[in-house]
Structure 1
């Protein structure tokens, strides 16, 4: 086993702000499904989309949200997201795999036609690129574990000049399982995420109960996500991120 500690990062919502890209790609995926949201353009992220983004776990959900935005009741979706989502899928006769394929195709075409424009839709959060580049000097390796596809994430990381020790995309499987596999190879010193539910799932996974987990405050959070965190999950503020890893909570 490699003795150097490994710090694992989520990608979208932690390293980069991908809100503009997700909306752009979801809008174009809807157009492929002949369901482009009326009255909305791909270049302006609707406020309702921003508010619902923290509830999203898989990319295909963005496509469904984009299609539903012109007609959805925001409060209903915020309060009963799963039920509203299931109802919309049934009404439209759509399957998650179908929506994910449309999203992946829209991204793939965007990369082929104008790679630089697509990359520009992703903006790294302030200080993240520099901080990741500094970790090596602290004797720490870092990796990326994301629900984006590996190919798209690799494109973005290369565009930012970032080269993680390892990159695991959606194809690698559920995050807790990937972390268990990584734990067999490396000494994990933490997992950095912007989704509280994911961190709670990690901490409740046998074998990962002692893995330090960090919830970033700059990600796609709901107002209540930062309150009453369970043991083992600590808030990571930008000023704490900049501090040496030994000083993290």
Structure 2
């Protein structure tokens, strides 16, 4: 690919490390129920798959009809603590600034609902900088369907074939591929135990943000 028209990012586990707030929320819920705290690693590994996956880790022994009210309580609490501990992954602050200085649009395509996405981006100072943000509740079909990807391109005024998509889950890579974007597998994200970047068959595998920065520089030089 030559110089990209835009770079789009998945949110949780790719652009922003939200796992600390998911972990804190799970343990607040468990503490309120008189239960012991859970370790960080298994919660982190589940975050990219969403709140249902996180709650399945937190309460694997409970039936779905029992877990669902707990999940709603967890989400209400998470909304109130949306950015207590979340942060932009180290190195990506500089990459966003570089894209902006080069006049290259960047945006976010996430399966996270607007209810959580917009306050999080506002808290991190990203809400007014992104050329496009597409959330799960703004489309009829979420990733891995290409619909949200193409909506982001329309909002940013770019052709999908000239864009890059960066994500830390197999569905991100599938969505990017189906949208005809160049895909980057983000190895710094929330990979499950035993999962390999190469399994996703992205165009480029980047184990670290530094790897992505180095690759991006070759495209911009």
By how many angstroms is 1:133 displaced? Answer: 2.0
By how many angstroms is 1:139 displaced? Answer: 2.1
- Describe the superposition over 1:54-93 as per-residue Cα deviations: whole angstroms up to 9, x where unpaired: 7x5222321232123xx6xxxxxxxxxxxxxxxx5xx353
- Describe the superposition over 1:170-213 as per-residue Cα deviations: whole angstroms up to 9, x where unpaired: 2123032111333444223111100124313542x3xx2x3111
Q: Which residue of 2 aligns with 1:80?
A: none
The answer on 1:218 being equivalent to 2:210 is no
Q: Among 57, 61, 80, which residue is 1:65 paired with? A: 57
* TM-score (ref. length: structure 1): 0.69
Q: Which residue of 2 aligns with 1:85?
A: none
Query: Does the C-alpha gap of structure 1 residues 105 and 221 become closer, same or farther in structure 2, counting only changes over 3 Å?
Result: same
Which residues in structure 2 correspond to 1:114-125 (within 5 Å)? 118-125=82-89
By how many angstroms is 1:104 displaced? Answer: 2.6
Q: Among 159, 162, 166, which residue is 1:187 paired with? A: 159
* TM-score (ref. length: structure 2): 0.76
With 140-149 and 156-165 compared, the bigger mean Cα shift is at: 156-165
The answer on 1:140 being equivalent to 2:115 is no
The answer on 1:39 being equivalent to 2:36 is yes
Which residues in structure 2 correspond to 1:164-243 (within 5 Å)? 164-173=130-139, 174-175=142-143, 176-184=146-154, 185-188=157-160, 189-203=163-177, 205=178, 208=179, 210-222=180-192, 223-230=194-201, 232-236=202-206, 237-243=208-214
> Any unmatched runs of 5+ in structure 2?
none
By how many angstroms is 1:99 displaced? Answer: 5.3
> Any unmatched runs of 5+ in structure 1?
72-87, 112-117
Q: CA contact under 8 A between 1:30 and 1:63: conserved in structure 2?
A: no
Which residues in structure 2 correspond to 1:144-155 (within 5 Å)? 144-155=108-119
Q: CA contact under 8 A between 2:22 and 2:78: conserved in structure 1?
A: no
